[in-house]
Homo-oligomer: A and B are copies of this chain.
Amino acid sequence: MREKLVAVIGAGVCDAVVATAAERVGASLAEANFGIVCGGLGGVMEAACRGAKGAGGWTVGILPGARASDANGWVDIAIPTGLGEARNAIVVRAAAGVIAVGGEYGTLAEIAFALKFRLPVVGLDTWQLQRRGADDAGILRATDPVMAVKLLLDAISKIDELPQSN
Q: What residues of chain A have their CB less than 8 Å away from a CB belonging to chain B?
A: 1-3, 5, 35, 60, 62, 66-68, 71, 75-90, 93-94, 104-106, 108-109, 111-113, 115-117, 125-133, 138, 166
What's the minimum C-beta distance from A92 to chain B, rounded to whole angstroms? 10
Q: How far is the CA of A86 from the CA of B80 in the complex (A)?
A: 12
Complex: chain B residue closest to A106, CB-CB? B116
* Copies, count: 4
B106 touches A93 (CB 8 A): no
What's the minimum C-beta distance from A20 to chain B, rounded to whole angstroms? 17
A113 touches B85 (CB 8 A): yes
B76 touches A82 (CB 8 A): no
B132 touches A131 (CB 8 A): no
A94 — which chain B residues lie within 8 A by C-beta?
A: 68, 78-80
